[in-house]
Amino acid sequence: MSKSRRVVLATIAATLLLSQFTSKAPAAEQPKEIRIGFQKAGIFPAVKQRQTLEKVFKEKGVTVRWVEFQFGPPILEAINTGNIDFGYAGDAPPIFAQAARANLVYIAAIPSRGFNQGIVVPDNSPIKTLADLKGKKVGFGKGSSAHNTIVAALEKVGLTYADITPVYLNPADATAAFASGNIDAWSIWDPYLALSEGKQARVVAFSKDVQESISFFLANKDFTARHPDTVALFNKTFADEGKWAEANRADVAAKLQEATGVDRAATTRAVERSNYTVVPISDKIITTQQETADRFHKLGLIPKPVQVKDIVWTWTPGS
């Protein structure tokens, strides 16, 4: 081989090697659709009704599909399997999901004022205090935020989980069981809580009396890794909607009533006591959520300890 040919080949090889370090990785492909799991609770139905996300993401060429669920655990299972990309749930569902190695991450939070969840009994019930729950049948969704509320309530008054008979029910079935007297008490969230308050039910304790309640926005982990800009825009849009909701509660109630068909008086009651401010997952929120996770592990309700911080995705407002 001639010297000139060797020089040419060496130059080509060097150029190819250099290109490996200097070429930019291709940009992540924009998703064509985002799929959002929602329930009657929280701000999601109002945002859906306002079509705000549709307007924002249309500019990006992305369509929005909403999928309704009864409560949090099925939403997180759908996120885990990749059937939806985003969802909203209370504090307990992501802990159970993480213990089951679900493929999801926390992306944002809404701290509660503590009045949107509570434990109710019929007006004529002999149950007057949390201590009176001993030996009673208490209904709630397994792995839901209401599950955490009842566990925290029992701890508050020195009772154990073994001191009650848990009856695991989704909200629809629990509504029927409570009305028929098949359960003695019901741990539940708005709007079901607000509905029950208007129908011969009495609140024994709100969640604020026994714990610090936080609701979470969650997303599929793989989707988040592929489309961080989409996740950030999702959060920003909801944060903006949260600001609108804080300033326009009558409008929120109207939109929620349109979206859910829930009684207007109950919807208004729920909206007036809600917080809609969307925030990043702070160290304080992680600590509170970790305490909840440790509580469930101590009771043997999850098989192994989990570290909440391991599945937190960092979001900076404005990004």
Q: What is the pLDDT of residues 63-121, one digit of tens each?
A: 999 999 988 899 999 999 999 999 999 999 999 999 999 999 999 999 999 899 999 99
Same domain assignment for residues 220 and 300:
yes
Question: Which of 1-15, 158-172, 246-260, 298-312 is the least confident region?
Answer: 1-15
User: Is the residue at 24 inside a domain?
Assistant: no
Same domain assignment for residues 195 and 307:
no
User: Is the residue at 2 inside a domain?
Assistant: no
Same domain assignment for residues 171 and 291:
no
Cβ atoms of 224 and 313 closer than 8 Å: yes
Which residues contact residue 68 at a Cβ distance below 8 angstroms, ignoring those fewer than 6 apart? 37, 38, 39
Task: Examine residue 191 and say whether the peptide bond preceding it is cis (omega within 30 degrees of 0).
Answer: yes
Quick one: pLDDT at residue 71? 87
The share of the chain scoring above pLDDT 90, in percent, equals: 82
Asked if the model's pLDDT at residue 289 lies above 90, the reply is yes
Same domain assignment for residues 203 and 124:
yes
Q: Residue 216's Cα: distance from chain center in Å?
A: 4
3 or 159, which is more confident = 159
Cβ atoms of 37 and 69 closer than 8 Å: yes
User: Is the residue at 15 inside a domain?
Assistant: no
Same domain assignment for residues 296 and 250:
yes
User: Is the residue at 145 inside a domain?
Assistant: yes
| Residue environment code for 288-301, b if the CB has 16+ CB neighbours within 10 A, otherwise e | bbbebbebbbeeeb
The share of the chain scoring above pLDDT 70, in percent, equals: 91
Q: Residue 3's Cα: distance from chain center in Å?
A: 68
The boundaries of the domain holding residue 305 are 33-112+214-311
Domain total in the chain: 2
Sheet holding 33-38, edge to edge: 63-68, 33-38, 86-89, 214-220, 104-111
Same domain assignment for residues 161 and 290:
no
Quick one: pLDDT at residue 177? 96
Query: Residue range 176-186: average pLDDT?
Result: 96
Asked if the model's pLDDT at residue 298 lies above 70, the reply is yes
Asked if the model's pLDDT at residue 28 lies above 60, the reply is no
Quick one: pLDDT at residue 318? 66
Same domain assignment for residues 49 and 183:
no
Strand partners, 189: 117
Cβ atoms of 78 and 36 closer than 8 Å: no
Please report which confidence band the pLDDT of residue 315 belongs to, taking 50, 70 and 90 as the band edges.
Answer: confident
Query: Residue range 20-33: average pLDDT?
Result: 56
Q: Answer with the one of 180, 209, 238 that is the final residue of a domain.
A: 209
DSSP 52: H
> Residue 257 belongs to a domain with what CATH number?
3.40.190.10
Say what angle helices 283-298 and 92-99 make with each other, to 10 degrees: 70
User: Is the residue at 18 inside a domain?
Assistant: no
Same domain assignment for residues 179 and 100:
no
Q: Match 């708005």 to its residue by tokens.
A: 190
Query: Residue range 287-313: average pLDDT?
Result: 94
Please report which confidence band the pLDDT of residue 222 belongs to, taking 50, 70 and 90 as the band edges.
Answer: very high
Same domain assignment for residues 203 and 222:
no
What's the pTM? 0.85
Tokens of 123: 């007006």
Q: Answer with the one of 209, 236, 260 that is the final residue of a domain.
A: 209
Quick one: pLDDT at residue 54? 97
